[in-house]
Amino acid sequence: MALFTRKEPILGIDISPSAVKLIELSRSGTRFRVEAFAIEPLGEGVMEDRNPADTDDIAEAIKRAWRTSGARARRVAIAVPTSGVITRTVPMPAEFKESDIETNIAIEASQYIPYPVEEIYLDFEVKGPSQVSADMQDVMLVATRKENVDTREATLKNAGLIPAIVDVEAYALENTFRLLMDGLPKKEGGGLSLSKAHGGLTALIDIGATMTNLYILQDDSIIFTREQGFGCDLLTVRIAEAYGLSREQAEQAKRTGQLADDYGPMILEPFKQMLAEQIGHGLQFFFSSDLFVSGRYTVDSIVLVGGGALIMGLDRVVADVLGYTTLVGNPFKNMGSAGRVNSNALLRDAPLLALACGLALRSFD
């Protein structure tokens, strides 16, 4: 008897500059299990402007990931980068049904989206009655340039897989965050913190190879995002320069930590300090935005995901520099795993798989 249903599962595949990350999950009741996962590195330059440029190379990497992971599903959820998506909440007459919205959405979009309508894909979600007028409802427009979707879909098809869901990185991470929330400290008692009444905020930081994305979540919904143009590649570059290594050698040395004695004090510690300060700058953008009302919100904790979260001791430095409880996010903490899954590798790489995990969770929507 199959306890864990694998009926029509959807694979989560994160095609990112450093690697293809693939996960298949199953569920029994409220418990998830990792059925298969793989991380397949990508060569430099196969992604350009965060889109697949060399679709053949990436398709080969996806095929390898699929084979080595033992995944069975062929239907896939992928994500376009948050920065490649424009979202706007627009008012529409309350009596509009889905079909009316669909007819009118392109006209609405042309007012808000700085690209010709024929160059974008549009979607929408009805958010509910408008706060401003009883005759109106709020509709959230989501638009992205076609190339963001088409290049990813073509790559998947090239790899023999079936694109089933196109998501946005932010929404997929929101999905993962719901799993991470169990591990977050809960504010008890009143004290001076007003966060309880309004739902304390969490900052989710995805530190990648070239980009760092800051997401502010209220309960389990993202209310603010900011992309910052730095990532762990900077550390690779510094290692390569300091020790006269090629990028590949530096990348390898970074992961194993097998470098000269001065690596810690001269390079790694200053880099962690710099990352923490940059995260602090990102937070300042939120604190100075219209969304932030001083005294009403507090940030309760910071959760780190992405490759940067694997830098040993970064959580402690961020906590020291910024003064917030800081954790490394492991979406699989409460999950089991199938026999074929290398659970040590899964545990080690968990923060890298945050986005792929959020995509795989779409199987159970």
Ligand X SMILES: Nc1ncnc2c1ncn2[C@@H]1O[C@H](COP(=O)(O)OP(=O)(O)OP(=O)(O)O)[C@@H](O)[C@H]1O
Which stretches of the chain bind Mg ion, using CB under 5 A? Answer: 16, 208
Burial of 144 (0-12, 13-18, 19+ CB in 10 A): buried
In angstroms, give the least distance from the CB of 230 to ligand X.
Answer: 9
Identify which of residues 11 and 20 has a Cβ nearer to ligand X in the complex.
Answer: 20
In the complex, what is the shortest distance from the CB of residue 38 to ligand X, in angstroms, rounded to a whole number? Answer: 13
Distances (CA, A) of 133 to 48, 89, 101, 268: 44, 14, 18, 54
Residue 307 contacts ligand X per CB under 6 A: yes
151: contact with ligand X by CB under 6 A: no
Residues binding ligand X: number (CB under 6 A): 20
Q: What kind and span of H or E run contains 111?
A: helix 98-112
Would you say 59 and 28 are in contact if contact means Cβ atoms under 8 Å apart? Answer: no
Q: Is 251 in the site for ligand X (CB under 6 A)?
A: yes
Residue closer to Mg ion (CB basis): 200 or 208: 208
Gap between the Cα atoms of 179 and 97, Å rounded: 33
Angle between the N-to-C axes of helices 269-287 and 233-243, in degrees from 0 to 180, rounded to the nearest 10: 150
Task: Tell me the C-alpha to C-alpha distance, in Å, between residue 276 and each of 183, 184, 306, 313, 346.
Answer: 22, 20, 15, 11, 26
Angle at 358 between CA 357 and CA 360, to 5 degrees: 60
Q: Which is nearer to ligand X, 137 or 330 (CB)?
A: 330
Task: Work out how close the CB of 361 gets to ligand X at its nearest, in angstroms, rounded to a whole number.
Answer: 18
In eight-state DSSP terms, residue 186 is: P
By CB under 6 A, tell whether 82 contacts ligand X. Answer: no
The interface with ligand X within residues 38-67 (CB under 6 A) comprises: none
Query: Which residue lies nearer to Mg ion by CB, 84 or 208?
Result: 208
Residues in 195-224 that interact with ligand X by CB under 6 A: 208-211
Nearest C-alpha neighbor of 15 from the set 221, 175, 154: 154
Which listed option, Mg ion, ligand X, none, makes contact with residue 18 (CB within 5 to 8 Å by class)? ligand X
Rank residues 137 and 212 by Cβ distance to ligand X and give the closer one.
212
- Please identify, using beta-carbon distances, which residue of 34 and 209 lies nearer to Mg ion: 209
Q: Write out the residues near ligand X by the rule CB under 6 A.
A: 16-19, 208-211, 231-233, 236, 251, 254-255, 306-307, 310-311, 352
